Structures are given as C-alpha cells and as structure tokens.
Structure 1
Amino acid sequence: VTEHPVIDLLPEQEGVINVDMGATMRLGDYFAELTPGSLANKLYGSDAIIERHRHRYEVNPKYIDEMEKAGMRFTGRNKNRMEIAEIPGHTFFFASQFHPEFKSRPNRPSPPFLGFVRAMFKKNN
C-alpha cells in the first residue's frame, strides 16, 4: 500500500481477493480517442484507434489534473480512462495502457514502435 497510488487497480478490481484473478483483467480490444496534433495522432494518422489490453491497473483519476499541471498530456482516452500519456518536448515519450506489441508484425510494425525507431534515428543523425 502506498500513500499516493498514482497507478492503481481498476475500480472493478477493488475487493477482488488475490487468489485466482485470471478472469478479472481488462482484456481485449478497446477504443481510444486521440487528441488532434498529439504524437499519438501523428503516429497513428487517425483520431481514434482500437488496441488490445491485458491489465488490471490504470492511472488513478484522482491524480490526472496534478499530472497534467506538471506537464504530462493524456492524449488517448477511453471515456474516463487514460490510454496514452505523452510529455511534449521530449524526444520520444509515449506511454500506453494497451500493448502495441500484440498487433505489431515484422513487415508492419505498430505505430509507437516505428515512431520510436524513427525518433532515435533522427536524433542520432
């Protein structure tokens, strides 16, 4: 237990006894709206995406305003859930709640992976 649970259990996980949590995750494809002009929007070339999830934790909504005041931007959202976080001005800061590797293929890398490689190439050349 921590005094500041910035990352916390999903609300539907609270009270679940830590015995057999196999069926209690947020699993499968979920929709996210992307902020126009954001890194996510540029990487995906779209205003909305569907990505695969497998988790039982999320950004605690109680801390979102404080994190945004400190400079973090939540640029992908599914209703009141934060799906993507970015730090503007950083060479490449892209944090996702979903698993982009689930859809990535050798001949068709996921947009965040391709974007990271391109950003590092640009930085070093």
Structure 2
Amino acid sequence: MDKIYLNKLQFYGYHGVMPEENKLGQRFIVDLILELDLTKAGQSDDLNETVNYAEVYQIVKSIVEGKPSKLIEHLAEQLAAALLKSFSKIDFCTVKITKPDPPIPGCYESVAVEIRRGR
C-alpha cells in the first residue's frame, strides 16, 4: 500500500486530565500516515486522485484546537475517524499524537499515543 506522511504538525490545545492542562493548554504534535493507492495520482498528476494535504491539515487543526479531551487516546480516535470519513480514498490511517513536556514527574521529554485504523 502506498503512503502519504504528514510529519510533525504542531497545534496548541487544552487536552489533559489535570485542571491546569485544560486551563493553560500546551503544544501537541501530530504525525499521520495515510495509506491509499496513489497509482492514478502518480500517473495523472491530478490532485483529485489523491488526498489534499491542506484539507487534511485543516481537519486535524479543527479537532486538536477544538473541544478538549481528557485523553490523547480519545483525540487520536477522533482524528482517525474524521480522516476516514472525510477521505474515501484512505484505506488505513496511522495517527500519532505526542504531548511534549507532560506534567509527570521524571518525564523530561514527551509521551505519545499511536493508533492505526482502517475501513
């Protein structure tokens, strides 16, 4: 299966279990792998035969910067469902959400969740 990668999309959201996360917000980094057949797009050079990256970005932005979720697992599920619903050409999508600097003592870099969903 062919793949489109959208790497290190960065957003500011208010997701988390802790009250300060919901009040102050924080950065979230989203990586996507969209699996679909790119043969026609490669042969025709026609945007209609693939997935428009700008449209993908806008969907992800609206969800990550929208209504807060307690868990990034929930946020990842929302993203996968929205992308599969919005783009019929996508067979599978992998969504990775990284939460830099989580409020966990001793965690000095990040935590992340990655899911893969398909039709």
With the length of structure 1 as denominator, give the TM-score of the two structures: 0.28
Structure with the greater relative contact order (CA < 8 A, sep ≥ 6): 1 or 2?
Answer: 2
**Structure that is richer in helix per residue:** 2
Q: Would you tell me which structure has more strand in proportion to its own residues?
A: 2
